[in-house]
Structure 1
Amino acid sequence: MKLLLLLLLLTFLLSHETRADEIIGGKESRPHSRPYMAFLSIKRNKSWYSCGGFLIRRDFVMTAAHCAGDSIRVILGAHNITNSERTWQDINVKRQIHHPKYNEQNLLNDIMLLKLEKKASLTEAVTILPLGSRSNSISPGQECLAVGWGWTGPRGPPSDTLQEVELTVMNRSDCKVFRNFDARSQLCVGNPNSWKSVFFGDSGGPLVCSGVAQGIASYAMLNAKPPSGFTRIAHYRSWINKILKAN
């Protein structure tokens, strides 16, 4: 039986090797061409982890609920996460708001909003990514883009530079390998004929389809082969709008 894994990565941010390898089946992004991306440095139980996320309002970042921690630091405007640039905006998270029905056992409702301590300044390297809605839903066969600093192969290491990979939205039946897959609230993504996938460390990053965030990287196969599961953003728009309106 194939095992699942969270895409969360235990990362020693100051010590991992510098590599220019590609995300699994992908390539390095052109620097600052995905200006909505956020790198999350997460402290949990005296250990450091990393996740991806994306800016949806000047003071809010969206990510996966399993990326929660005791404290989170957000870096916007980054490309090489080991090389600080003038484009960087380093902001602490004031409040972590995960979906009230998030289930850490089966990863249902794996979505979280991060309220930043201060508003980000919008620049060429830092912009907001629009969110998908029920009116612009996606269909199987559509090509989308996943982005992150995760592992570049089944045995690692994580990438210092932002990577991206084109993935295909698949039929719900293609994700029957995942016992708890829920087609209403999740997207089945990948390509059975191509070894392309998100993996460790890519959690919380967006699935961008036609310039709109439609999914959040949630889980994948332990062998890094497709398919992978993404939280379906359109399913949560009412909850998202409620949180943003209240803050």
Structure 2
Amino acid sequence: MLHLQIIIVVLSHTFLKQTVTGIEHGSKVPDGVMQYMVSVQNNKGHVCGGFLVSDDFVLTAAHCDQRLTKVILGNHNLDVGNTTKIKKQIKHESFKEWMSGNDLMLLELEKKAENIRKATLPTVNMKVKAHDLCQVAGWGRTSEHSGPVVNLMAANVSIIDITNCKKNCSILPDNVTCAKGCTNIKFYQDDFGGPLVCNNTTVGLLSFNKFEQQIFPNVGSIKVAEFFILMLAVKMQGQQMITMFLLLSCLQQTVTGSIIVNGNRVPDGEMQYMASLQDISGHHVCGGFLVSDNFVLTAAHCFDRNLPVRVVLGDHNLKESNNNGQTIEIDKKFKHPSYKNVGFGDDLMLLKLKKRAVLGNGVEVIQLPTVNMKVKADDLCQVAGWGATHTGGRTVDGLMVVKVPIINITTCTEKWGMLPHNVICAGGYTTNRGFCQGDSGGPLVCKNTAVGVVSFNRRFNCNYKDEVPNVFVDISKYVVWILETMSN
């Protein structure tokens, strides 16, 4: 009996998706289940499977590039599904051929998909275990000599240990996950690109199979986790990469500074912990806030492209200095050790000042949360900064603040498609208030406590009607690191 071994493309840590493409001995998928499934097509019809990861992006296998023109989504029956043209194909930059790995490709759609549930992507730390029961799905043929089917089919598969997988197949690329069918299950070329789904999370992507006189198991999906991380890294390494894989929902972000949209001027005497991070020319680069008399907390990505050399404290108006203003040079910077780029999370940095700030007279520290502190959905908090007040605008001289509601993390993740770990969502989305480019690193303040650090929004868009929520780093998850770093 042939076993199906699926090598799963690891999108951001082993994403096991529940999608079965080209499934022999599978079952018809009921309406309302696996709504993210997509048929990737050319002018001749179905070519590969895929799955919706944001309103306007589909993830599939890079080797499915066969003059693709459109996708069909929104219905498991291809005769009645919605047809959307493909605007752009973005292959993983390291892809060469299917056996070399990195078999991933994003398809940007000409128009956004409406009212269609997107696939849930795994967290960076998610792992699948041997014997976990997962699913694959697709419209591929159900026998070797038939053509693609009209109705979506799915089948159960179980994860197998990678060591055992390599014993049966010596040609595995790096970063793969293997699974085997519970019965005599096969999948075919027209199923590639579909997801491997575990616990309602897409953890892998069907890449290839191998038959050798029924001796070796079918090999079929490539691990998705590490590859997703690579995609994020590529996009976050430069603005020119904004069209690369990081365009994947959460990958479509990067905010350097919190443009306060629809906010108000901060009165003197309030928010006296606010800090302006400035470059050698005295230009505002990012926000931050004083957490002790000689440490400022900010976002790690504030140093990705710019180089702040000093902080300004006690001045809400950066052009009209008052007697309370203090300008202090930065002595050392301490990025969180796990930080790679904004899309990976851990977007925190401590700045040690060359001399201690003089507290009082317009300069104060802000309270940090306890390790166990949690914010609740709909809590009303504040975010402040000197960033622009509209998309494409310039930074402002006067400190601005706006009230934003906390957004449920499940809702936020669903809207983004995927998020880094340890984040809080607030503002944007259904409100017209939030941040944007100009002041990343500023605080999210709830009940006079700094609970978050401004990290990113999507595509530098600050017109928040029908946009995804703003994303902040959850400080409570890093309190131990902050205190240890400052004490050492």
> How would you bin the TM-score normalised by the shorter chain?
0.7 to 0.9
Residue 488 of structure 2 is aligned to residue 235 of structure 1: no
Instruction: Indicate the residue corresponding to 2:398 in structure 1.
Output: 161
AA aligned to 1:241 is L
TM-score after normalising by structure 1: 0.86
Report the alpha carbon displacement of residue 180 of structure 1 after superposing the two structures with TM. 4.0
Instruction: Indicate the residue corresponding to 2:375 in structure 1.
Output: 138
Q: Which has more radius of gyration?
A: 2
Instruction: Indicate the residue corresponding to 1:7 in structure 2.
Output: 255
Query: 2:254 and 2:282 mapped to 1: Cα distance?
Result: 17
Judging changes above 3 Å, is the alpha-carbon distance between structure 1 residues 23 and 191 closer, same or farther for their aligned structure 2 residues?
A: closer
Report the alpha carbon displacement of residue 212 of structure 1 after superposing the two structures with TM. 0.3
Q: Does structure 1 conserve the Cα–Cα contact (< 8 Å) formed by 2:276 and 2:284?
A: no
Query: 1:88 and 1:94 mapped to 2: Cα distance?
Result: 19
Instruction: Indicate the residue corresponding to 2:419 in structure 1.
Output: 181
More off after superposition, 106-115 vs 184-193: 184-193
Alignment of 1:201-220 (within 5 A): 201-220=438-457
Instruction: Indicate the residue corresponding to 2:273 in structure 1.
Output: 36
Query: 1:185 and 1:193 mapped to 2: Cα distance?
Result: 22
2:385 aligned residue (137, 142, 148) = 148
Query: 1:71 and 1:220 mapped to 2: Cα distance?
Result: 22
Report the alpha carbon displacement of residue 31 of structure 1 after superposing the two structures with TM. 2.3
Tell me how many residue pairs correspond in the alignment.
231
What's the CA shift string for 1:126-153, capped at 9, x where partnerless? 0000101233321111111001001101
Instruction: Indicate the residue corresponding to 2:296 in structure 1.
Output: 61
Q: Does structure 2 conserve the Cα–Cα contact (< 8 Å) formed by 1:174 and 1:188?
A: no
Alignment of 1:6-155 (within 5 A): 6-8=254-256, 23-42=260-279, 50-68=285-303, 69-104=306-341, 106-155=343-392
Query: 2:387 and 2:428 mapped to 1: Cα distance?
Result: 19
Report the alpha carbon displacement of residue 49 of structure 1 after superposing the two structures with TM. 5.6
2:309 partner SS: strand
1:135 partner SS: coil
Q: Does structure 1 conserve the Cα–Cα contact (< 8 Å) formed by 2:290 and 2:365?
A: yes
2:389 partner SS: coil
Q: Does structure 2 conserve the Cα–Cα contact (< 8 Å) formed by 1:206 and 1:214?
A: yes
Instruction: Indicate the residue corresponding to 2:185 in structure 1.
Output: none
More off after superposition, 228-237 vs 216-225: 216-225
Query: 1:135 and 1:25 mapped to 2: Cα distance?
Result: 32
1:199 partner SS: coil
**RMSD value, Cα:** 2.1
Q: Does structure 2 conserve the Cα–Cα contact (< 8 Å) formed by 1:170 and 1:191?
A: no
Report the alpha carbon displacement of residue 191 of structure 1 after superposing the two structures with TM. 5.2
Query: 2:386 and 2:266 mapped to 1: Cα distance?
Result: 10
Report the alpha carbon displacement of residue 179 of structure 1 after superposing the two structures with TM. 4.3
Q: Does structure 2 conserve the Cα–Cα contact (< 8 Å) formed by 1:6 and 1:203?
A: no
Q: Does structure 1 conserve the Cα–Cα contact (< 8 Å) formed by 2:253 and 2:343?
A: no
Judging changes above 3 Å, is the alpha-carbon distance between structure 1 residues 215 and 202 closer, same or farther for their aligned structure 2 residues?
A: same
Unpaired segments of 5 or more residues in structure 2? 1-55, 57-248
Flag the structure with more relative contact order, 1 or 2, with Cα contacts below 8 A and sequence separation at least 6.
1
More off after superposition, 151-160 vs 54-63: 151-160
Query: 2:341 and 2:279 mapped to 1: Cα distance?
Result: 17
1:134 partner SS: coil
Judging changes above 3 Å, is the alpha-carbon distance between structure 1 residues 179 and 98 closer, same or farther for their aligned structure 2 residues?
A: farther
Judging changes above 3 Å, is the alpha-carbon distance between structure 1 residues 114 and 85 closer, same or farther for their aligned structure 2 residues?
A: same
Q: Does structure 2 conserve the Cα–Cα contact (< 8 Å) formed by 1:81 and 1:161?
A: yes
